[in-house]
């Protein structure tokens, strides 16, 4: 019988530890974006290798940059399609989508299989026209 690994266990096994600013959303009622002054939300999908890689890379990158704002991780399987459209304006597709939150509102979205790389390039101040 296979035991399902929790998001927390999966992340800790890859990162060694989670920082105090990292919050795993286990229940949708705990996902209260309007209360987040500044933060990053990552949509995790345990069934998607690319989502796991994007999530881990994003967290390592933020940790290495000593990011102090909230990092929220939510499992895509907790959310219905309607809920996702209400919160994100679209359905997430299991790529490890990343949303930047400012004053309770999503102000930037990093979508698709390159979500982490696009976030990294933006933070580093590189745009496509610079490449």
The dotted CATH code for 7-126 is 3.40.30.10
- Do 16 and 60 meet the contact criterion of CB atoms below 8 Å apart? no
pTM for the model: 0.88
Give the model confidence (pLDDT) of 54-90 as tens digits.
999 999 999 998 999 999 999 999 999 999 999 999 9
What per-residue confidence (pLDDT) applies to 16? 83
Two structure tokens written together for 70: 């909230």
**Measured distance CA(129)–CA(19) in Å, rounded:** 35
Two structure tokens written together for 42: 């990552």
Pick the more confident residue, 123 or 58. Answer: 58
**Measured distance CA(13)–CA(109) in Å, rounded:** 27
Two structure tokens written together for 76: 């895509």
Sorted by where each begins, the domain ranges of the chain are 7-126
What per-residue confidence (pLDDT) applies to 83? 93
Please report which confidence band the pLDDT of residue 131 belongs to, taking 50, 70 and 90 as the band edges: very low
What per-residue confidence (pLDDT) applies to 103? 96
């Amino acid at each position: 019988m296979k035991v399902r690994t929790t998001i927390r266990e999966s992340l800790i096994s890859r990162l060694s530890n989670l920082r105090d600013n990292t919050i795993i959303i286990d229940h949708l009622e705990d996902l209260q974006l309007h209360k987040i002054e500044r933060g990053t939300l990552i949509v995790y999908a345990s069934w998607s290798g690319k989502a796991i890689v994007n999530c881990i890379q994003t967290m390592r990158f933020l940790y290495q940059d000593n990011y102090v704002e909230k990092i929220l991780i939510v499992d895509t399987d907790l959310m219905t399609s309607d809920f996702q459209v209400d919160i994100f304006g679209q359905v997430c597709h299991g790529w490890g989508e990343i949303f930047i939150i400012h004053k309770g509102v999503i102000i930037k979205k990093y979508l698709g299989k390159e979500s982490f790389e696009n976030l990294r390039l933006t933070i580093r101040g590189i745009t496509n026209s610079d490449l």
